[in-house]
Amino acid sequence: MAVLPILKWPDPRLSTKCAPLEDPRCDALIRDLFDTMYAANGRGLAAPQVGILKRVFVMDVGWKEGTHTPMVMINPTIMAVERVPLTMEEGCLSLPGIMVPVERFAAVTVQWTAAEGDIHMADFDGFEARCIQHEFDHLNGIVTLDHLDSEARERAEAEYARENR
């Protein structure tokens, strides 16, 4: 077990597009990602948030409510979406102290490789759909702030600076 340090924005590694994870035998990395996510009281964590620039993330959206649904997504692609935009406030372990309104699709179809190497495809909606899109953004070097227009971003960055003085 290893709880890794989580990179804080504006670390440039959080703005870097990640490379595919070629070797699916990454049990140690996945364990570390879960350990780090739970220790930080988060519901999702992407490898670049701990400085590993590979396309993998973990999530467990209901664990705080007692419903454990741990998922690992390696090299995910969002295949199709229900194009209903939905705006909600999102936090991020790499942007502590602020919540940012982000427009996401209400439902997504995702294809990914699971930890055992099998390829899966499934539909997600609700909080899972939002979490997947958030973590998927991290694999492409995108954080919540990048969804804001320049005025809202300036306000959010100022609040972030105050919160992380």
Binding site for Zn ion (CB under 5 A): 92
Q: In angstroms, what is the minimal distance from the CB of 15 to Zn ion? A: 12
Residue 102 tokens, joined: 């982000």
Partner residues linked to 19 by β-bridges: 54
Q: In angstroms, what is the minimal distance from the CB of 144 to Zn ion? A: 7
CA distances from 80 to 2, 65, 72, 109, 110 (A): 35, 29, 19, 5, 7
Position with the least CB separation from Zn ion: 92
CA distances from 71 to 33, 56, 96, 103 (A): 11, 11, 23, 23
Residues carrying an active site annotation: 135
* Closer to Zn ion by Cβ: residue 66 or 102: 102
* Closer to Zn ion by Cβ: residue 3 or 119: 3
Q: In angstroms, what is the minimal distance from the CB of 105 to Zn ion? A: 17
* Closer to Zn ion by Cβ: residue 22 or 136: 136
* Closer to Zn ion by Cβ: residue 59 or 92: 92
- From 71, 46, 137, select the one nearest 145 (Cα to Cα): 137
Amino acid at 87: T
- Decide: 93 and 49 in contact? Cβ < 8 Å: yes
Q: In angstroms, what is the minimal distance from the CB of 42 to Zn ion? A: 8
Amino acid at 20: P
Residue 163 tokens, joined: 């919160």
